[in-house]
Chain A
């Protein structure tokens, strides 16, 4: 008995309160923003469950309850059942494809009576768990081909299923697991990131400047490099350099094709709007234009709670879901947005720090996994509202309206906090 009590106290005492504080702060900010965005004076009660803020309150309660239960579950459960959880959510992704309901072009919802779920929100967590469980096995070495293939498969299978739902935003989130692979020492993971960044840059510059200009620039660079190598008598490097530039040319060559055939029309438009190639504030650029106005008009200290003028007339679409950051920007001003931004970065850094102090690989990999997920969500969501990213519909963790994401993000974080609280019990 004494042991049990002692154990429980230890757990509570060992919870990382920095993380939890940031979490609660963000949830609170999120709920107040939703309240402000959807405020209706005919339904002023925060418990009016016909209103979004009332519904969100329920979801927050459910999420907290789920988080609390997770803190009570034995920490080893998640490691032991990681693959089962993973397969469960894979199955739910398949179920969505079969039985799901389409919302805004994406087939990502499944209904249980009155409640709608978005399994893709949970599949990310499942993937993080599975990856952690797999890499946490003592016999797994990421330098081996087979282990690399299995790791990629664990990531790519759910990603492909989400893509099949036409939910590009959620699919992109799976890219974040590159951080995990990099941290766990997969050879080439770093290069993969570099290549990814270079490819993205080539893509952007080609769209902005056209292929001819890019051929000219790459050609000139190649000649200069070759001249340099020749003069410095580093002939060994000539072949790799030519190969690398060949890849570059190939990239540029395929940009048009990729743009026109891989991206769907609305995605093309969003990219063009972002790059300033398409100026259509009333059409495809409407969201971003209005979003920037809302945030920009907040000024330094904002217009004050419930005083946002862009919200009432619904100038910003999806104000309470994907564009919730606008409400913060308008009513909280730069002080508000900076605070939220800093809270997120602090949360990410805190998770990395906690991950690094884990004794088990499982916990560390899982920590990196969710840090990556949070990071991509935050970077893309806020980036799109301030015109640094194309419009990709994924929620802002803990802030956006939506039950699935609130529950999934909370559970995701709670599992990690539990692992961390339990770290000393691991030998």
Chain B
């Protein structure tokens, strides 16, 4: 028998009381927590709900005639929830190896992707492998159950049935950290796709639509048990808007074929609307290359290509306009009252100073004659006379007037419509010359401007716009790519606002007549490309450039009395304007107006023509 049994046994009561007391307190707490308090139920619902993003179908892109240029194709993103993938022994080396083989990636890439996903979130899904094709998807999905934490999410990628207009259409790609930071609305998530260039970029907001959301209840087996709250929180995705471009797919394809083997650009505009009919930059590439999993690899390869196919030369290439610029110089000279169509400047032909004339015409050409023959001295004199015009007080003011007029005609600045990465070209400022010549400069110093050389630089787009404004006899609509949206949404006002060039109609008409003679005149520089049934107007340019052979330039529009197409063609290092640019422009005109071409021999010669580039830049 225990010694202390009798006197201490009542101490058990306190001990038992403590046990019971704690039990009661806990029971009360549990009752409050589980039965009385309803908050936790809701919190749990939030926990057990799965928020599934519903990606809207991105808008399709059509040409002006409703021909499909871009549509969506289903691809599958392989998602991973790192925590589920990493736990237990599911990813032993052997499995990893098999898994890599299955996905066709190497182990280093596997580890890198996994680390990236883990860094993003350990508990939430991240994209492990994006844009798996339909064929690979079927193959992988079959055995994916062996790899917990991985699952597929459907998405669409862009597909280009015609493989044309790569630069114009642009591409979409995973949003970059930089873009993510700039996203003020907080619309994008890591791994989302965003328009990177071209139309995809300009109309990102319209094309992408609005993401939807499905709130699903998930049970312990990760099975979706249906919509939460009968879908009260669900939002259907809003499909992106379709876009109809001003582009004519046939003309674009034709232009691209003409430009094979040449570096340069064709920009064709519908003068009455400013819509771009063709937007060729050569060399180009197949837009389908920049889609899906191979995008990164192909992009890098294209970037390494010495011919720089990724550059859209129609807006990013800045060229000396050469003689095509004489249209601008001539019209400003008339508008400023410095010359009239009857004004005659003396030309000594090849002996002219300081700029010689490369053409043979009478010693004293009038305006029309000078245009037809592209007389250098005439326009040098006209330019000099304009900025020397006493009505401006001094030459610097004269120059400012002149620069102001070029600006009105769309030079030296961007149009700011829907073409990303447009460059502004260059019309030097008065201050630039002041600085360069320390204030000591005059009309002779900057005489090269008169014939489109020297500091003046234009983009093919700006040059085409000059053609368009002459075709319109004095005004233009800022050139743009879009024709309309798939719905009734109006296109931005800037593109439908008529811009006056500041040149009176009568002077533009004089210019127009002059440009007609370039084709029709006995000495016209493009007379070989005259078509009897389609009256064309144009101006050749042979631009000296410090990097190699002259650039072959041409601006044109047709038909003369009711222009439907205005265009600029620049063939880098193509030599004379009349050699390459003029025939290509003429063929483009024929193709667009007629729908087909009859000059087979010319067409073949242009298409087969290859220009060797000694200076591969």
Give A contacts to B, CB under 8 Å: 36, 39, 41-42, 50, 138, 179, 182-185, 190, 290, 292-300, 306-315, 329-330, 333-334, 337-338, 341-342, 344-345, 348-349, 352, 355-356, 358-361, 364, 368, 371, 375, 379, 382-383, 386-388
Contacts and interface: CB of A to CB of B under 8 A. Distances in A.
Contacts of B40: 292-293, 295-297
Given A309-B48, A386-B30, 5 more contacts: A138-B3, A309-B218, A352-B16, A352-B19, A371-B15
B532 interface: no
**Interface residues on chain B, size class:** 35 or more
Nearest to B19: A348
A352 B15 contact: yes
A79 B220 CA distance: 48
A296 B43 contact: yes
Contact of B220 (A36, A338, A388): A36
Most buried by A among B1, B26, B145: B26
B249 to A, nearest CB: 50
Interface string B17-35: 0111011011101110111
Contact of B47 (A42, A313, A360): A313
A315 B20 contact: no
A379 B19 CA distance: 9
Instruction: Give the 10 A-B CB pairs with smallest separation, nearest first.
Output: A296-B40, A297-B44, A309-B48, A345-B23, A334-B34, A312-B220, A293-B43, A348-B19, A337-B30, A185-B8
B15 A184 contact: no
Contacts of B33: 292, 295-296, 329, 386
A309 B44 contact: yes
B19 A307 contact: no
Interface in B86-119: 88-89
A255 to B, nearest CB: 24
A310 B222 CA distance: 11
Nearest to B43: A293
B39 A296 contact: yes
A86 to B, nearest CB: 22
A388 B12 contact: no
Contacts of B14: 182, 190
Contacts of B44: 293-294, 296-297, 309-310, 330
Contacts, number: 148
A1 B437 CA distance: 129
Contact of B30 (A312, A313, A334, A356): A334
5 contacts: A293-B47, A310-B48, A312-B222, A356-B12, A375-B22
Contacts of B293: none
B11 interface: yes
Contacts of B222: 312-313
A312 B225 CA distance: 14
Most buried by A among B4, B33, B37: B33
Main secondary structure of the interface of B (DSSP, over half): helix
B438 interface: no
A382 B44 CA distance: 19
B23 A344 contact: yes
A349 B16 contact: yes
A335 to B, nearest CB: 9
A148 to B, nearest CB: 15
Given A182-B15, A299-B35, A334-B35, A388 B26 contact: yes
Contacts of B18: 179, 375
Contacts of B43: 293, 296-297
Contacts of B84: 314
A138 B4 CA distance: 11
A333 B26 contact: no
A278 to B, nearest CB: 19
Most buried by B among A183, A293, A337: A293
B9 interface: yes
Contacts of A179: 15, 18
Given A299-B35, A313-B47, A386 B26 contact: yes
A361 B35 CA distance: 44
B47 A315 contact: yes
B41 interface: yes
B2 interface: yes
B87 to A, nearest CB: 8
B413 interface: no
Contact of B4 (A185, A338, A368): A185
B458 to A, nearest CB: 57
Nearest to A42: B145
Contacts of B217: 309
Given A295-B30, A309-B218, A352-B16, A183 B22 contact: no
A334 B34 CA distance: 6
Interface string B476-488: 0000000000000
A186 to B, nearest CB: 10
B3 A361 contact: yes
Given A299-B34, A375-B19, A309 B219 contact: yes
B83 interface: yes
B42 to A, nearest CB: 8
B221 interface: yes
B221 A342 contact: no
A230 B89 CA distance: 73
Most buried by B among A345, A349, A352: A345
Nearest to B23: A345
